């Protein structure tokens, strides 16, 4: 057992390399469709954020695509949440945007020959509006 009492494992290096190559392809395919896509974590950027999880041992959970709306919308959502207004129209609008973009991203990636589905299919409620991408069909 590890020193701190939990078992932290990384996926094998060849699996991580394959996921990184797939993530690069996902970015290219989305950009070809006119959707901004990026790999880094940037709070000030709108578009599809593609993240590789190097801890996921299961191939289906190794890569997630999230839609990031314009930072001004995100800020308005955060302000509403912090003020306790959980039913604010801006929160519902943000959810609708992310839901529509999730469907669009899945359709675009499937059309490009990739396997893409809602992350909720794999992780339940943890990533309800994200997209999981696995290998080509």
Q: Is residue 76 part of a domain?
A: yes
Q: Is residue 7 part of a domain?
A: no
Tens digits of pLDDT across the chain (137 residues): 455 666 667 888 888 898 899 999 999 999 999 999 999 776 689 999 999 988 766 655 678 999 999 999 999 999 999 999 999 999 999 999 999 999 999 999 999 999 999 987 765 556 788 999 987 65
Q: Is residue 44 part of a domain?
A: yes
Q: Is residue 8 part of a domain?
A: no
Q: Is residue 4 part of a domain?
A: no
Q: Is residue 115 part of a domain?
A: yes
> Which domain range does residue 70 map to?
13-136
Q: CA–CA separation, 38 vs 44, rounded Å? A: 12
Number of domains making up the chain? 1
Helices 71-82 and 89-111: angle between axes, nearest 10 degrees: 140
Q: Given this model, what pLDDT does residue 5 score?
A: 60
Q: Is residue 97 part of a domain?
A: yes
């Amino acid at each position: 057992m590890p020193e701190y009492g939990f078992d932290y494992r990384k996926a094998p290096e060849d699996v991580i390399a394959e996921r990184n190559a797939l993530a690069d392809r996902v970015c290219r395919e989305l950009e070809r469709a006119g959707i901004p896509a990026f790999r880094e974590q940037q709070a000030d950027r709108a578009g599809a954020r593609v993240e590789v999880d190097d801890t996921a041992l299961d191939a289906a959970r190794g890569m997630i695509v999230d839609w990031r709306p314009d930072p001004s919308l995100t800020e308005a959502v955060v302000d509403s949440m912090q003020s306790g207004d959980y039913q604010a129209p801006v929160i519902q609008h943000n959810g609708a945007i992310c839901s529509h973009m999730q469907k669009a991203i899945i359709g675009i990636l499937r059309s490009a020959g990739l396997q893409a589905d809602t992350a909720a299919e794999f992780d339940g409620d943890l990533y309800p509006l994200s997209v999981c991408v696995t290998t080509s069909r």
